[in-house]
A and B are shown apart, each in its own frame.
Chain A
Amino acid sequence: MAVWDLTVAVEELGPEAPPLSISVTSDLHIGGVILKIVEKTQMKKDWSDHALWWEQKQQWLLRPAWTLDKCGIHADARLTFTPQHKPLRLGLPNGMTVRLRACFSGPTFRTVMGICKLLSMRHPEELSLLRPVEEKKKKKDKEAQEEVYDLTGVPLTSGSVPNLYNGMPAHFADSPQTEAVYKMLSISQPPPAPEVIAKMYRPASVVDKAHIHSRWLDSSRSLMQQGIQENDRLWLRFKYYTFHELEPKYDAVRLTQLYEQARWAILLEDIDCTEEEMMLFGALQYHINKVSQSEPQAMMSCPAMDDLDSALQSLEVKMEGESSSMDMLETMTTAPELHDYLKIFRPKRLTLKGYKQYWFVFKDASISYFKSKEEGFGEPIQKMDLKGCEVAGDVNVAGQKFCIKLLIPSPEGMNEVYLRCENEQQYSRWMAACRLAAKGKSLADSSFSSEVKNIQAFLSMQHSNPGAASAQNDENINTHSLVSPRYHKKYKPKQLTPRILEAYQNVAQLSLTDAILRFLQIWQALPDFGVSFFVVRFKGSRKDEVLGIAPNRLIRIDLGVGDVVKTWRYNNMRQWNVNWDIRQVAIEFDGNVNIAFGCVTADCKIVHEYIGGYIFMSTRSREQSDTLNEELFHKLTGGHEAL
């Protein structure tokens, strides 16, 4: 058999070095070629991660047993001998960038699995990589400033179960640097400055949103094959909006990143919501930020140990106190109360008397008021039972206005009552009491003092000068950081704060995990949640239309008006296929419904993969959540290449 020369570039020899030339025969297998290259370099190092990349064909030669002949390689082939794992700069859902070693040779699906394992996120099938949106007028110096968390030194673990060490996966516990990376991954970022939000790219229309989806990488091909180079920047995002078994115990990073992605989707109006919903999202962001700042060390995993100590302590206190049992009975039976001179106003009576001052006593879950303090032991003028009432604040710190608005239900209807307090302290105590009473709790409830503190903290936000708010700390957040730019124009921070405060009272008691879960729940309950848009041309139609791909259905949307024309559910789907020659997706539904469309804004492989991906997600069962059926995924999403 004829011997011929094969040229192979080896990066390790330096950029200037000429490619190696080795003599081969056509029946030499790839493994043999690699052996020859390694011998020729005369370098002693671990070559195990290296493989051959065929530049003209844009493909890896990964089967050592195949002969050159079988691969179709001739003397004109230009090969590169290069590592399969290369560093990649990865933009995370929280906006941070992490540099890590990713697989450039396997299918992207497997690359994402590797990345997720490194970042300790479960269910990698829900995520994928996409090319970032080019930022306009990006300055060189700005990019240099960007903080990059480095994880390239961390070895990829082969064990499937990430063992915890110090409340974090063991591979993060190696050094302070990696610990900082884990902290960044698992703790949500503080709210961004309003200017940052305003500056970021926001999709203005459905078509804009559709363009984003043209950036997804093909899951069945490798990064190299898709032109991704070493040190390139890619985004890691949740692609499929069906989140399997969110479990706070194991999903610290996953939950945080999911929350971050949801938060940015809201802030950048990637998903539409009502004003009320926006305020609630704002309140939750405020709360999540506050709680994660205050308990940064107690990871979501095990707060029990700290609590145990405090529990033991209070047990001791309790034991010491038992001698004076009579005193205790006293304190037990006399419930705590609040009393103060406050002003009351009842708009229902059509008098213009305005606020009138009385002596108010708050006891259990009701407010009584008297003419004066001296008469406080007699019959009250009125007693209001607050159970089930609605409480809202009307506060303007600058104007020294501290009002509590109560809507007290009665058989006749709701009674509207305004209470006016003198100052912040008074307001926060009475407000807290009213809120507890509305939930049927008494002042004796342990949450009273924390409720008071919450209100005070929130009020302090109004003190801040909105101009100076960019200098942020955890106590001082510009409320503009919590809502989308639309509301920056609509409301001043001063006006926004009470609105968010109102929503905040319903979530202030939530733990960090619960608050994040609540945020995600409300996000998922939005009508447009999880819909990815593509501009398509339906068969037989002359105009472009929008196809929305949701976790459970396909939606045909009129591009001009934005109305939903038709919905098809995957449940009724018989089969779908792609005609790769004319790049047309055809789907058949129950009842002989057939649709076909070509894709305008994205490659039809992306659309095909999206649909197949959702079908795959729905096949995951609760029982065997740990095993990932990679083969099935490729079968459903790969198209002709995979088969």
Chain B
Amino acid sequence: MDQLSDDELDHAAEEDSDKEDQDLDKMFGAWLGELDKLTKSLDDGKPEKLRKAPLRQETNLANFSYRFSMYNINEALNQGDPVDLDALMADLCSIEQELSSIGKPNSGTSRLPPPGEAKLRQRPPAGHSVSGHGRPLASNFSLDDITAQLEQASLSMDEAAQQSSAGAVSDHEVRSLGRSPRSSINSASAGSMDSLDMEKPPRPPEVDGLQQPAPQLPSQDTIAVCLQEEQAAKLKAEKIRVALEKIKEAQVKKLVIRVHMSDESSKTMMVDERQTVRQVLDSLLDKSHCGYSPDWSLVETITELQMERIFEDHENLVENLLNWTRDSHNKLMFTERIEKYALFKNPQNYLLGRKETSEMADRNKEALLEECFCGSSVSVPEMEGVLWLKEDGKKSWKKRYFLLRASGIYYVPKGKAKASRDLVCFLQLDHVNVYHGQDYRSKYKAPTDYCLALKHPQIQKKSQYIKYLCCDDVRTLHQWVNGIRIAKYGKQLYMNYQEAMKRTEAAYDWSSLSSSSIKSGSSSSSLPESHSNHSTQSDSGVSDSTCSSHARSQSVVSSIFSEAWKRGTQMEESSKVRVSP
């Protein structure tokens, strides 16, 4: 079966786009049929049938893994919320549109970005079939390889073709492309080198059309002669590329997830396996119109273990959710959490290893963050102190002196001083994530309620491999959790924050567009300086102050930062009062 599908893939790639259109249309029809069934089964009140839907389409082009916590889907279906289905429907419609646009590729005028960028680029999905299997097909790996390979090959050939044909037109142009024809070709070939190095399996037949120009590339004369062949190759490369995109789309795994909102309601949405938490957050924010703040988070709650974790923005959502078991009661929440980026709003409370909260001037905050995250290595805050450790498999908690280092968490063995060489490694952070424990005082008889847990993301049930630590106060807890995050993610964490702030800023820009016409008269003439003054004084929020200035100045940006920080502190203060939810 798998072989067959590969065969067809290759086959399909060589066919004209018209034919593929039909195929895809057919497939999409099947999809809609599926959706009908889903709705029906919903009406019947027998959601279990869902999973027994036809597993595979005849075309076999698509390979869509559909997996979801049964508990979650049951709950969602029992609520019978029609809005959810509407949302899904909208998703499907957008897919259809994208499909048809792929079916008619534009005529090769646009150049692809380099391979690195290509990965980042969001590609619309092409087709799906619902399958009950949670696991990807066995052939996925080789198929992925082929795809990557093909893309590389076509890309580099195309580049070479373009450059060499330019050479045929005029010498001058060649020089503008690269120092010499030879060097420009080198660079193109170097692009393909990676893929060639990568794996041994031979190339699929698509590439053979490109064989002829390749050996002749080095000489410029020959290039001029076989200009026509180049163009043919170019066309072919374009075709291959279109085919490749389709193969890729077909490979993409999708997941229907249920997201709990802060107001007890829930949303069902589809995420694709390539999406980062940030991307999912963005689309949730777009849909829910809840105002933009960097604090919006996706929080994973592991009900059985009474622990939760804020997903980091750069993490892959699907990958994380696939760790859930089938009947998991875990929840995914979409909610505002000030602790997500409190570290960056008040770095002095986390990075300096001080016992007490303090204020700091904004410029010093920035300098501190710069110093901590922007050097050649990230400096992990010097966290150390006595924590309670729950002993493996026992109910008792005992005190130990723990230290955090970039290489992991250590403790001081009994009767030793805390010289580095005598430290005992408690845990290295590569394989574990840090979770907040909830109400461990009653669950595990913890000394306080300020607990954190460290575990491999795949562990979902009680296990001796989960480590529980308990802090004396909430401040220590937050310092440790953030320290561990820094040690684990390093600079990525700061980049996430900056990205989130950028979005916030952009969101303010957009929201301001409507109001700018009213206010522009007064503020467009005023200096950036006065902007920032205004914003720090006003209590009403940031959007007033930033709305009208089209050319963003540094001071305006920093005023947003300062405002955000201010709010961060305020909220932090308020959160201290109500600790447990």
Contact = CB atoms under 8 A, between A and B. Distances in A.
Q: Do A and B come from one complex?
A: yes
A390 B456 CA distance: 11
Contacts of B376: 243, 246, 520-521, 524
A384 to B, nearest CB: 13
A335 B408 contact: no
B263 interface: no
Interface string B506-541: 000000000000000000000000000000000000
A527 B405 contact: yes
A401 B352 CA distance: 48
A144 interface: no
A325 to B, nearest CB: 4
A276 B407 CA distance: 8
A311 interface: yes
Interface in B380-419: 380, 382, 405-408, 410, 417, 419
Nearest to A388: B458
B232 interface: no
Interface string B19-53: 00000000000000000000000000000000000
Given A308-B193, A311-B192, A311-B193, A446 B200 contact: yes
B423 interface: yes
Nearest to A328: B202
Contacts of B323: 411
A524 B407 CA distance: 12
Interface in B292-348: 323, 325
B141 A442 contact: yes
Contacts of B207: 318, 322
A331 B202 CA distance: 8
Given A274-B423, A315-B214, A527-B382, A410 B139 contact: no
B6 A333 contact: yes
Contact of B459 (A319, A328, A331, A413): A413
Interface string B358-376: 0000001001100100011
Contacts of B190: 304, 307-308, 311
B204 interface: yes
A308 B371 CA distance: 40
Nearest to B419: A272
Interface in B187-246: 189-190, 192-193, 196-205, 207-208, 211, 214-215
Interface residues of B, number: 69
Contacts of B458: 388, 409-411
A315 B192 contact: yes
Nearest to B456: A409
Q: What's the interface size class on A, roughly?
A: 35 or more
Contacts of A315: 189, 192, 196, 214
Interface in A523-581: 524-528, 552, 562, 567, 569, 571-572
A521 B375 CA distance: 10
A444 B420 contact: no
Given A329-B6, A332-B204, A274 B461 contact: no
A269 B202 CA distance: 51
Interface string A421-464: 00000000000000000000010111000000000000000000
Contacts of A417: none
B202 A318 contact: yes
A378 to B, nearest CB: 17
A567 B367 CA distance: 17
B146 A332 contact: yes
Contact of A319 (B211, B431, B464): B211
Given A414-B456, A524-B376, A527-B405, A274 B421 contact: yes
19 contacts: A242-B375, A314-B196, A321-B203, A322-B205, A331-B202, A332-B201, A412-B463, A413-B461, A414-B465, A442-B141, A446-B198, A520-B377, A522-B406, A524-B377, A525-B380, A525-B407, A528-B420, A571-B368, A571-B371
8 shortest interchain CB distances as A-B pairs: A413-B463, A525-B406, A411-B460, A409-B458, A311-B193, A272-B420, A524-B377, A328-B202
Interface of B: 2-3, 6-7, 10, 138-139, 141-142, 145-146, 186, 189-190, 192-193, 196-205, 207-208, 211, 214-215, 323, 325, 352, 364, 367-368, 371, 375-380, 382, 405-408, 410, 417, 419-421, 423, 425, 428, 431, 456-466
Interface of A: 242-243, 246, 269, 272-278, 280, 304, 307-308, 310-312, 314-316, 318-319, 321-322, 325, 327-329, 331-333, 335, 364, 388, 390, 409-414, 442, 444-446, 486, 520-522, 524-528, 552, 562, 567, 569, 571-572
